[in-house]
Structure 1
Amino acid sequence: MSLSLRRSAVALCAASVTGFSLVTPAHAALVDAPVTHSAPGAALAVEPIGTYETGIFDQSAAEIVAHHADSQRVMVVNANSGEIDVLDISDPTAPTLLHSVDAGADTTINSVAVRADGLAVATVEPADKTAPGEVIFFDAAGDGEVLGRAGVGSLPDMVTITEDGTHALVANEAEPAEDYSVDPEGSVSVITLPADLSGLAAVEVRTADFRAFNAEGALPEGVRVFGQVGASTTVAQNLEPEYITTSGGKAYVSLQENNALAVVDIASATVEAVHPLGTVDLTEVPMDISNRDDAIDIRNWPIRSFLMPDAIESYSAGGNTYIVTANEGDARDWEAYSEEARVKDLGSDGLAPICEGYAGMTAGEIETFREDANAGRLTITTVDGLTADGSCYEQIHGYGGRGFSIVDAAGNRVFNSDDEFEQIIAEAVPEYFNSNHSESGFDGRSDDKGPEPEGVALGEIDGRTYAFIGLERVGGVMVYDVTVPQAASFVTYVNNRDFSHSVEDDGDAVLSQAGDLGPEGLAFISAGDSPTGQDLLVVGNEVSGTTTIFGVTSLLSGGSSGPSLSSGLSSGSSR
């Protein structure tokens, strides 16, 4: 689709669905007028109905969330306290804290997953992140007592449980020490779970490692392997699992910094393949890459950007497995080594310059290209794109796709949202286009990763599959119909945020009025598992420290109640 057609198609999404209302009790962190923006004839309406506030700003007090249907509790990872907050959501309009689960002194809990019978598994990072970690087991319906422990790999960042409940899988990210004195091997722990909570003493932990890819030529071309010279000596040390989804006996693992997807056979606990995920070509997919142009300027550039997904989820369509990837982007930026630079830095501070004739430009055109109002401010990697002799950059690479993709089980991309997220944000909140989360502003993140998609959850409603994608910076959730993977389509966008309150500028006193800041983890609750019989979405927001529940209403099934989707905001494509 041409740029002009893409823009026209997204502009049509400005029409709002109206005529529905949902009565909810007043709550400080539920803003008066959530931002909403829907496609014509949108099949779903989404509105915040309840929230729990920690009152802690920008300290990751609400991150990953998991729901247990039988007890109607939500587990929320609170990295600030190092615990899991257990919320009662039997009344989703008024979630309340019951207790917290503590893994012990000098530890941090990074992730949690819950089985249908209440068996909960959480990942525990020790004070030394390069040391081996643990998982703890507890009863989601219990009082928070830790019932068992098991050792796993270094920096266990994420845990999930298979559909049949027989296994838990842990992504051991194994980041290096800040000084690169230690760089552990990345791995996936495969934990065989007992039939019930009484068998926790006998859990088996196996390790799916990446050592088979240490052999020369074993790793496919396009998988990023890099770091401080001499510190990471093997591929297995360099690969860093981030997030896991499972389907049909396989685990699919995002290797974010490596821009790749690993496939693990669960039965044998072996890594079968590592697939590169490629780039977004900005000569075809436009982006706004400057925060100094004083405009919404979504256009094409001679740059490529790595997808680098954070959260991923999987589903089946037509008998095949597909993976939805939230293409956040992420760099290695440690005390002893950093790959980050800006386009205007190339050719100075020991960095190679842009090659003569880059993208067919003259020397004068390259200098114009390097200006702050053009590409100069864009955050890029210094690792990729050099000529064979390292003398200059023949291709510039940025971070993140600023949207989401759908790939098949072999990592082949069948859909990409291209520039739709930025175009939709430009229509929905033009005055706060690409705002940061900690402060409200215009265009503040265009030079980095834009809206920064991070979390994703999938849900089935009326026989169709929907993806809910959280935007870490500007905030809110994009909802897409992904029933047909090759033809995913925008449904609605909702953001429980009041941009008139900027916490970084005005302080914690306005935290409740600002609403949700920095969506991190998302969990979809089907109507059958919901305390009210309505589909729900739970979002943990790490910057505002809030956990917010959204009501999801089908507008095609004749439901009598649903959100009002009138934001009261003007639409437009420029400031």
Structure 2
Amino acid sequence: MHLPATLTAVCALVAAAPALADPVFNRIASFATTANMAEGEDRMRETSAEIMAVTEDGMRLIYSDSPLGVIGMIDIADPRAPKPLGNIDVDGEPTTAVIRKGMAFVGVNTSESFTDPSGALRSIDLAEGRIVDSCDLGGQPDSVAIGSDMIAVAIENERDEDLGDGGLPQMPAGFVALLPLTDAGVDCAAMTRVDLTGLAEIAPEDPEPEFLDINDAGEIVVTLQENNHIVVIGADGAIASHFSAGSVDLDGIDVAEEGALDFTGQLRDVPREPDAVKWLDADHFVTANEGDWNGGSRGFTVFARDGGVVFDSGNGFDRAVAAIGHYPEHRSENKGAEPEAVTVATFDGQRLLFVASERGSVVGVYDATDPAQPRLLQMLPSGIGPEGLVAIPARNLFATANETDLGEDGGARAHVMIFERAEGQAAYPTVTSEGSDPLIGWGALSGLAMDPAQPGTLFAVSDSAYHTQPAIFTIDATQTPARITAKTVLTRDGAPAAAIDLEGIAPDGQGGFWLASEGNADKDVPHLVLQVGADGAILREFDLPEALVAHRKRFGFEGIALHEGKLWIAVQREWGDDPAGQTKLLQLDPATGEWSGVRYPLESGEGWVGLSELTVHGDHLYLIERDNLIGDAAVLKTVTRVAMADLQPAPLGGDLPLVAKEVVRDLIPDLRRWKGYVQDKVEGMAISDGGQVWIVTDNDGVDDASGETFLWSFDLP
């Protein structure tokens, strides 16, 4: 497989394509919520895009931004170039919103305490950008839904999760508020309450309605998440039926937060505790079973209106998230992939179901034409923390609102992401372990190498995100997407190796590998060079040479390559004995244990700049040099090279020669081709004998990250 340098074949690095009859969604734009902030406003303030709605003409999106206390607006007349329309202050904390005839109806939490909840339904004229009416709801609103003649609001009156064990009951009880629609908006005076007490088996005196939806007949389905209960309210406002959401047994899942991915565990009798709910048709609705204080079944369920379970995803959704590297291992003892949002829409006669994993930051798209047999079509990269889902079938569009904002920590901002449905192939994922048995869990790919014996095969390593399970992955890059076919765990004395942070890999020419461990003295993780056998058993270890021990810093070994019997190792950033703006390229002779090195000039920039990888090809040593910035702030993600003839290493402890470098390729245009924000961690590189360069990004183990992994290739110039 040999892709052209123009990267026009990036889209060929795709997910296993759905059946040819199924068009696919691909991301076409991303919108950072900071774009809606006014000139002079502090752009480092936390923002959010939580729950979203679309105007009836499909040309404008609005989203709730709780940290700023506003509704944000986006012009999507050109969905590939969304434009900011600014924010509207709602005088409180917005939860959800719906739209009718140019009017947005926004649930706003104004509570001063958990025991004295309050809230309002604000009516906002979107053309004028101002509040024109407000209804006192008598409690804290969560979800808002709109029907042909009324608005329904779930008054959750949420509990204090820090009180006791965070469980129920915690009064006052929640209820559903119904407000009739008029030509002018809503009739506040005619608001009625639907009492939900006495229904659930769990804390019947304290129902906490979480989410609701209205069907064409005016019937309302309501989830009581913490109560693990579902209520159907008739068009007359009376309770038509109610039932427990039930529980499930799960096999083949990860159940321990131990720094490893192991999908062989099981859980029994897990309450579903559903969050979002949507009518699938007149007789069925679907729930996203996020879980809460007492469970989380990690999937979604299709119910008949009488409470019968028509379909449950079991472990399927959780494992689909894991297969594309998005599984949040740090949530294994809680809710796994944590499905939270769900929506339903019909595109060209095909009934589609969208399920979002909040912690995995991905959306599953299912064909739900048969409610009893939803069929997974694809997985969409969404941004961090998808909460709001909007389908716009008339324009073949779909959008996600992603609530997590990591700007204060130098991470990605909250985003709205836009997808278009069309004929073709899915551009994501680029790597998958789908079909492996047992399922191969993976993520945080931090180093890359070619298999010298098998063209089209790559080897990768994972970093300290999985600190109890350092591993080598075998990747078949001749398939689209590339397939992870094997996982080899490193062992020391027969047990999984500990205190290893793999960042580089190179075949040793004997069927095994040379590996580089970054090291972090603050966490007792040594800087190491290791030789391992084909089975992952550690054969030899080389510690940091004495000349460098006194000057070591956290940012250590970030790549390794074998050339003419000697190893080259990149040091990520300056250590204590380096001049400003320079780092080291170290050489290790494994036959003698002797170390030497040269200095490498780093570019200057915002944040920090360092090396992520190195490999040898022909007469040059190729490196990845990058900054640690993300999104619009990212400036430097490059492939550079140094002539091997210029690498004349000197003994450590004295002056080291400074090498000259040449920039080969700017990787930022490549990263933008997936239409998300620019990822910061471009960390792996391998080059074939024919000059095909493979690059992979590190998804940080889906911890405060979107989980997206991009693997792509281009030809050397």
The higher-RCO structure (CA 8 Å, 6+ apart) is 1
Secondary structure in structure 2 of the residue aligned to 1:290: coil
Q: Distance in 1 between matches of 2:88 and 2:14?
A: 34
Question: What is the CA-CA distance between 1:39 and the residue it aligns to?
Answer: 4.6
1:289 to 207, 231, 255: 255
The answer to whether structure 1 residue 61 and structure 2 residue 61 are counterparts is no
Query: Equivalents in 2 of 1:179, 1:144: separation in Å?
Result: 39
TM-score calculated relative to the size of structure 1: 0.66
Is 2:505 the counterpart of 1:540? no
Q: What 5-or-longer segments of structure 1 have no aligned partner?
A: 1-21, 24-30, 214-218, 226-234, 332-380, 382-398, 436-442, 497-515, 556-560
Q: Which has the larger radius of gyration?
A: 2
1:408: which partner in 2?
304
Query: What's the counterpart of residue 367 of structure 1?
Result: none
Task: Give the secondary structure class of the aligned counterpart of 1:491.
Answer: strand
Using the alignment, how far apart are the partners of 1:549 and 1:308 within structure 2? 29
Counterpart Cα distance in 1 of 2:53 and 2:68: 18
Deviation at 1:95, TM superposition (A): 1.5
Match of 2:222 among 236, 253, 272: 253
Instruction: Give the match's secondary structure for 2:317.
Output: helix
Q: Which residue of 2 aligns with 1:518?
A: 385
Task: Give deviations 1:367-423, integer Å, cap 9, x for gaps.
Answer: xxxxxxxxxxxxxx4xxxxxxxxxxxxxxxxx1111111001122111011111232
Asked if 2 retains the 8 angstrom alpha-carbon contact of 1:147 and 1:200, the reply is no
* SS of equivalent to 1:485: coil
Match of 2:29 in 1: 50
SS in 2 for 1:193: strand
Q: Does 1:136 align with 2:32?
A: no
Q: Distance in 2 between matches of 1:457 and 1:57?
A: 32
Runs of 4+ in 1 over 6 A off after TM superposition: 31-35
Paired with 1:484 and 1:71, the residues of 2 have a C-alpha distance of: 27
- Please say if residues 466 and 482 of structure 1, whose CA atoms lie closer than 8 Å, have aligned partners that are also in contact: yes
Partner residue, 2:673: none
Where does residue 284 of structure 2 map in the other structure?
322
Name the CA distance, whole Å, in 1 between partners of 2:175 and 2:122.
18
| Whole-angstrom distance in 2 between the partners of 1:95 and 1:459 | 22
Offset from partner CA, 1:213-257 (integer Å, 9 cap, x none): 2xxxxx36xx321xxxxxxxxx34x10000001122210000000
Cα distance in 2, alignment partners of residues 57 and 444 from structure 1: 27
* 1:123–1:134 contact (8 Å) kept in structure 2: yes
The aligned counterpart of 1:508 is none
Aligned residue runs from structure 1 range 162-181, under 5 A: 162=147, 164=148, 166-176=149-159
The structure-2 alpha-carbon separation of the partners of 1:299 and 1:94, relative to structure 1 and needing over 3 Å to count, comes to same
Residue pair 2:343, 2:355 contacting (<8 A) in 1 also = yes
Which of 424, 428, 431 pairs up with 2:324?
428
Gaps of 5+ in 2: 1-6, 35-42, 406-413, 443-717
Once residues 200 and 183 of structure 1 are traced to their aligned partners in structure 2, the CA distance between those partners, rounded to angstroms, is: 28
Partner Cα distance (1:548, 1:480) in 2:
19
In the TM superposition, what is the alpha-carbon distance from 1:121 to its structure 2 partner? 0.6
- Residues 481 and 35 of structure 1: is their aligned pair in 2 closer, same or farther, counting only changes over 3 Å? same
Whole-angstrom CA distance in 2 between matches of 1:34 and 1:562:
9
Which residue of the partner structure matches residue 266 of structure 1?
Answer: 235
Is this contact kept in 2: 1:323–1:406, CA < 8 A?
Answer: yes
Task: State the secondary structure of the residue aligned to 1:244.
Answer: strand
Q: Residues 102 and 484 from structure 1, CA distance in 2 versus in 1: closer, same or farther, beyond 3 angstroms?
A: same
SS in structure 2 of the partner of residue 131 of structure 1:
coil
Who is 1:125 aligned against? 109
Query: Contact conserved, 2:277 with 2:342, CA < 8 A, in 1?
Result: yes
Take 1:74 and 1:160, find their aligned partners in 2: how far apart are those partners?
16
User: CA–CA distance in 1 between the matches of 2:150 and 2:242?
Assistant: 21
Q: Quick check: 2:321–2:362 contact (8 Å CA) kept in 1?
A: no
Partner AA of 2:178 in structure 1: V
The equivalent of 1:494 in structure 2 is 380
Q: 2:32, 2:343 → 1: CA distance? A: 22
Count the aligned residue pairs.
Answer: 409
Letter in 1 for 2:351: T
Q: Distance in 2 between matches of 1:419 and 1:58?
A: 38
CA separation of 1:77 and 1:244: change in aligned 2, threshold 3 A = same
Give the letter aligned to residue 397 of structure 2.
L
Alpha-carbon deviations, 1:261-317, whole Å to 9, x = none? 0111233x33333210110123xx43221122723223434x22111111111022x
Is residue 176–residue 184 contact of structure 1 (8 Å, CA) maintained in 2?
Answer: no
* Cα separation, partners in 2 of 1:570 and 1:288, compared to 1, 3 Å: closer
Computed over aligned residues only, the root mean square deviation of the Cα atoms, in angstroms, reads 3.0
Shift of 1:427: 2.4
For the 8 Å contact 2:213–2:222, the answer to whether it is kept is: yes
Whether the 8 Å contact between 2:181 and 2:187 is mirrored in structure 1 is: no
